[in-house]
Amino acid sequence: MPRLFGTDGVRGVANQHLTVELALGLAQAAARVLGAEARDAGRRPVAVLARDPRVSGEFISAAVAAGLASAGVDVLEAGVLPTPAAAYLIADIGADFGVMISASHNPAPDNGIKFFARGGRKLADEVEDRIEEALAEPKLAPIGADVGRIRRFADAEDRYVVHLLSTLPHPLAGIHVVLDCAHGAAAGVSPEAFRDAGAQVTVIGNDPDGMNINDGVGSTHLDLLAEAVLAHGAQVGIAHDGDADRCLAVDADGNIIDGDQIMAILAVSMKERGRLRDDTLVATVMSNLGLRMAMADNGITMLQTRVGDRYVLEAMNEGGFSLGGEQSGHVIMSDFATTGDGILTGLHLVSEMARTGKSLKELAGVMSVYPQILVNVSGVDRAALHTDEPLAVALAEAEAELGESGRVLLRPSGTEPLVRVMVEAADQPTADRLAHRLADVVRDRLGV
Report, as residue numbers or ranges, the catalytic residues.
Answer: 104
Long-range contacts of 395-399 (CB under 8 A, 24+ apart): 395/438, 398/423, 398/434, 398/437, 398/438
> Rounded to whole angstroms, how far apart are CA atoms 436 and 432?
6
Query: What's the burial of 392, exposed, middle or buried (CB within 10 Å: 0-12/13-18/19+)?
Result: middle
Which residues does residue 151 pair with via DSSP β-bridges, in sequence order? 76
Q: 273, 297 in Cβ contact below 8 A?
A: no
Indicate the pairing of strand 248-251 with strand 236-239. antiparallel
**229 in Cβ contact with 201 (< 8 Å):** no
Question: Using the 8-state DSSP alphabet, how is residue 278 labeled?
Answer: G
Q: How far is CA 285 from the centre of its chain?
A: 16
By DSSP bridging, strand 121-122 and strand 150-152 are unpaired
For 280-334, strand residue ranges (E) read: 280-284, 301-305, 323-325, 331-333
User: Is the CB of residue 227 less than 8 Å from the CB of residue 322?
Assistant: no
**Is 258 among the annotated ligand-binding positions?**
no
Tell me: is residue 243 an annotated ligand-binding position.
Answer: yes
Indicate the DSSP class of residue 111.
Answer: E
241 appears as a binding residue in the annotation: yes
The total of other beta-carbon atoms located within 10 Å of residue 239's CB is: 31
Q: What does R_g of the chain's alpha carbons equal in angstroms?
A: 23
DSSP 137-173: SPPP---GGGS--EEE-TTHHHHHHHHHHHT-SS--T
Instruction: Determine the Cα angle at 378 with ends 374 and 383, to 5°.
Output: 100
Cα 82 to Cα 432: distance, rounded to the nearest angstrom: 38
Q: Is 245 annotated for ligand binding?
A: yes
Annotated binding site: 104, 241, 243, 245
Annotated binding-site ranges for Mg(2+): 104, 241, 243, 245
